[in-house]
Amino acid sequence: MTGGTRLEGSVRISGSKNGALAIMAGALLAKGKTVLRNVPKIGDIFTMVETLRSLGAQIEMNGDWLSIDATNLTSHEAPYELVKRMRASFCVMGPLLARLGRARVPMPGGCDIGARPIDFHVKGIQTLGAYIETEHGCVYAESLKLRGAQIYLDFPSAGTTQHLMTAACLADGVTVIQNAAAEPEVTDLADYLTAMGAKIEGAGTTTVKIAGVDELRGVDYTIIPDRMEAGTFGIAAAITGGDVTVTHVVPEHLEPFIPKLQDAGARVDVRENTIRFRMLERPIATDVMTMPHPGFPTDMQQPMVALLSLADGTSVVTENVYERRFKYISELQRMGADIKQEGRTAIIKGVSQLTGAPVTATDLRAGAALVVAALAAEGKTEIAGTEHIDRGYENLVEKLCSLGADIYRADSERRGTALCLA
């Protein structure tokens, strides 16, 4: 986009990727049909659909809803080629154990934001009474009946909290998860499981209590909006000096993010289920520290650094959740950003302009950072690695074009399909 066309208009936010994935795994707990609405049509959802189908669940998809009938599960083994594609599919282990008494799930790979081990998951499932062994890159678990237990998480891990909540729903007795994650996607999962008949208290706080029940039933449930997509559009508005309203959102889910964007100079007007983002001057440098919810979300770190690379002044961004979530910085530097990384800290000296360049996305939110940087950069940017972006953003090109961006997909011989911003 030459000279950074201002984005203007309104855009409807899709359902939450991270909320939907956890709920889809939880749907395995019910001998019945769940209908999920507001499900984003993105790569990770399709991968989870394939994973659940491989276990015997009957799934139908139609627009933004899908039905999952897990009455007759035919396998306790999740396929490696699916789990390696997406870490969240590891969370089918708990429900499989609860339903079938055994599960074999490949260890998910690490990725470009960190090692992403599963030790908290394994320890939690063992604490619930399962026998676990890891061999040949797979985790095998067995248990006639999981038993409620006290579990203390070394770190408020979102995925582990969600996984153990689902495993505990059909356990014998009460489970208490301490130092639990409080992300909105944890609360959304608890709301879904409760609608199915689970007995859960404290979701959204650091202590979650689950009293096991005998059976859960399928329900009709609507997924919460994707707060990370909403935040990404907020940053896209700010970096182009634009005026964008995101609709169908839950503003309080963005409470840890909005004040920091305001520190960077954005005007933010919150209504019942819309948020208007504007930027009238050059962004202002500000410091950011990512933390588990309700701290600044780590998934917004990368697009935020892109915005701060154009700020007036020097910003310090500290990534406290993942140990390797700055890999994309070298790509921003190719666009003219002046960023120095020291361990988990990035020091961003704002520059007056970024210039378009061929760059490569290495993970989902790195891709988001490159897209927002390219929206503001002078000249053409070609972004390879679009498969990472398509994992988590539904119709991103169409949505940005509706706001005035000049972005299109191009098959570039050098780099497969790329997102091009002219």
Cβ distance to ligand EPZ smaller for residue 120 or 233:
120
Tell me the per-residue interface mask from 187 to 216 with ligand EPZ, x by CB under 6 A, - otherwise.
Answer: ------------------------------
138: helix, strand or coil: strand
Gap between the Cα atoms of 223 and 187, Å rounded: 11
299 binds ligand EPZ, rule: CB under 6 A: yes
SS3 assignment, position 48: helix
Is residue 94 at the binding interface for ligand EPZ, with CB under 6 A as the rule? Answer: no
| Gap between the Cα atoms of 186 and 194, Å rounded | 12
Q: DSSP string spanning 143-196? A: -SS-B--EEE-SS--HHHHHHHHHHHHTSBSEEEEES----HHHHHHHHHHHHT
Judged by CB under 6 A, the residue of 5, 14, 47, 160 near ligand EPZ is: 160
Minimum Å gap between C-beta 418 and ligand EPZ is: 20
What does residue 124 show for φ and ψ, rounded to 5 degrees?
A: -65, -45
Q: What is the nearest approach in angstroms of ligand EPZ to the Cβ of residue 250?
A: 17
CB 133, min distance to ligand EPZ, A? 17
Which is it for strands 174-178 and 150-152: parallel, antiparallel or unpaired?
A: parallel
Smallest separation, CB 249 to ligand EPZ (Å):
16
Q: For ligand EPZ, which residue of 39, 158, 224, 376 counts as binding (CB under 6 A)?
A: 158
Query: Which residues inside 226-285 make contact with ligand EPZ, applying CB under 6 A?
Result: none
Which residue, 148 or 159, has its beta carbon nearer to ligand EPZ?
159
Q: Which of 14, 89, 175, 298 binds ligand EPZ (CB under 6 A)?
A: 298
Per-residue x/- mask for ligand EPZ, residues 163 to 192, rule CB under 6 A?
Answer: ------------------x-x---------
Give burial (CB, 10 Å; 0-12/13-18/19+) of 332: buried
For residue 323, CA distances in Å to 18, 241, 253, 294, 299 come to 20, 32, 25, 20, 13
- Binding-site size, ligand EPZ (CB under 6 A): 26
User: In this structure, are residues 299 and 234 in contact, taking their beta carbons and an 8 Å threshold?
Assistant: no
Q: Is 117 in the site for ligand EPZ (CB under 6 A)?
A: yes
Residue 290: strand pairing partners: 296, 319
Of the residues 28, 94, 105, 120, which one makes contact with ligand EPZ according to CB under 6 A: 120
Residue with smaller CB distance to ligand EPZ, 60 or 323? 323
Binding status of residue 118 toward ligand EPZ by CB under 6 A: yes
- The runs of H, that is alpha helices, within 92-157 are 93-100, 119-127
Contact set for ligand EPZ, span 13-42 (CB under 6 A): 17-18, 21
Known active-site residue 111:
yes
Smallest Cα–Cα separation from 300: which of 267, 338, 255, 335? 255
Q: With binding defined as CB under 6 A, does residue 385 bind ligand EPZ?
A: no
Residue 275 CA to residue 272 CA, distance in Å, equals: 8
Among 99, 365, 388, 399, binds ligand EPZ (CB under 6 A): 365
Q: Which stretch binds ligand EPZ (CB under 6 A): 151-159, 205-213, 329-337, 346-354?
A: 151-159
Cβ atoms of 314 and 243 closer than 8 Å: no
Amino acid letter, residue 277: F
Task: Give the x-and-dash track for 52-81 against ligand EPZ (CB under 6 A).
Answer: ------------------------------
Six-digit token string for 257: 């993010």
The footprint of ligand EPZ on residues 315-344 (CB under 6 A) is 321-322
State the CB neighbour count (10 A cutoff) for residue 168. 31
Our finding on whether 116 is near ligand EPZ (CB under 6 A) is: yes
249 versus 420: smaller Cβ distance to ligand EPZ? 249
Identity of the residue, 148 or 367, whose beta carbon is nearer to ligand EPZ in the bound complex: 367
Nearest Cα neighbor of 184 from 92, 277, 77, 297 is 297
We find the least distance from the C-beta atom of residue 360 to ligand EPZ, in angstroms, to be: 17
Specify the residue, 57 or 88, whose C-beta has the smaller distance to ligand EPZ: 88
244, 237 Cβ separation under 8 angstroms? yes
3-state secondary structure of 235: helix
Using CB under 6 A, list all residues that contact ligand EPZ: 17-18, 21, 87-88, 114, 116-121, 155, 157-160, 181, 183, 298-299, 321-322, 364-365, 392
Catalytically annotated residues: 111
